[in-house]
Structure 1
Amino acid sequence: MRRKKQIFLSLGIAIVLLAVTWWVDLWRNTEATIQVLAARCDIPAGSRIEADHLALISIPASLNRAGYLENQELAIGRWTTGFLAEGEFITTNRLHDRARGLSYPDAALGRRLITLKLEPAAANGFWLAAGNHIDLFLIPHSQDRESEMLILEQIRIMAVLDENTGHRLTDTHLATTTGRLICLDLNVEQAGLILGRLGSHDIRMAVVNENPTG
């Protein structure tokens, strides 16, 4: 008798599980789906959206809580406010009607960024990194008295870049023959002084030794 009860109980549980599985499958098959826009490829910040950038992906309507765009016409011709990765769903706040240019997160509003190509001997053998402070020496080619050396003190290095790829370099503390570009964080006066002397002055930098405990 007890064995029969166990058999009936097992059959009952199996029937309930089958019913639940059937109901879940039925719910999945009947749930409404929508098509939303996704990035077909990586899209850099500041890019103008074209049709080739976009793909339509079907998702359950209940998952569209973030307000993903559903119509290509709402995206084509607009500009990305930041980097969009391949496959990323696109929302209104990721696009803008006009190109805003790039935002440099490590620079204060209104600062001027200048990138210089310097030889290793002029750039401390590239033994420097983003965040270092330097003194910049503008040395005139002419030796007359009216041409004096100009010194710009405590300039912050925004980034050290690979000359070939433009990518930021984080391990720059070893001298190397690979080309380097030095991006400087300047005010408008400093930027004008440097740009106005590129053809008539040599540029040298001295790295300011920072206090590691300060």
Structure 2
Amino acid sequence: MSAMTQTPPLPPLNRQFVSHFGEMGSRWGINRTVGQIYALLYLSPRALNAEEISETLEFSRSNVSMGLKELQSWRLVNLRHHPGDRREYFEAPQDVWEIFRRLAEERRRREIEPTQSMLRSALLEEASSDDERHAQQRMQEMYELIEKLMTWFDDVQRLKPETAMQLMGMGAAVTRVLDFKDRLIGGKGKAAKDASSTEPPAGA
């Protein structure tokens, strides 16, 4: 590439963000390179081609190609073509909620659904010992929790982005209401218990 078309270096703030995503990538179960490529595309005001990504991050073209394929498999990047340009350009979805939704859907498909399938199969088997019956009871509890979470997830997925953001913003208020309800019910239960303990025995 000529000096006139050379990709400019990342500003310090952008580089800090990209570096952090690379470090966190391994903790999230993705390659460091993939994390940095995604962070670069997320901050970029325009779609970038593989050569620009390679030059900016100083990665080999093969690593960039593999990283982009991984991001495409997660549906975290969109492919774009420019008129008169045979190269492929990549960009991250602009809507942050859409990014979260796609990531959550893929993690569900790859991680949660196989676990649900395994639990269903295990619960259909006939327990042959007390240990297996106890194990099935524990698995049933896990299965029911996952089912409730997935039902909630499906409900949230159908919401408009602005409605979903409002719902998340209500988290603290909902927690306070539920806490008040628990204390109220707990207080009534305690009062009823205390009252019953002071009643004289029958026939006294």
Quickly name the TM-score band, shorter chain normalised: under 0.3
Q: Which has the higher strand share?
A: 1
Higher helix share: 2
Higher relative contact order (CA 8 A, sep 6+): 1
Larger radius of gyration: 1
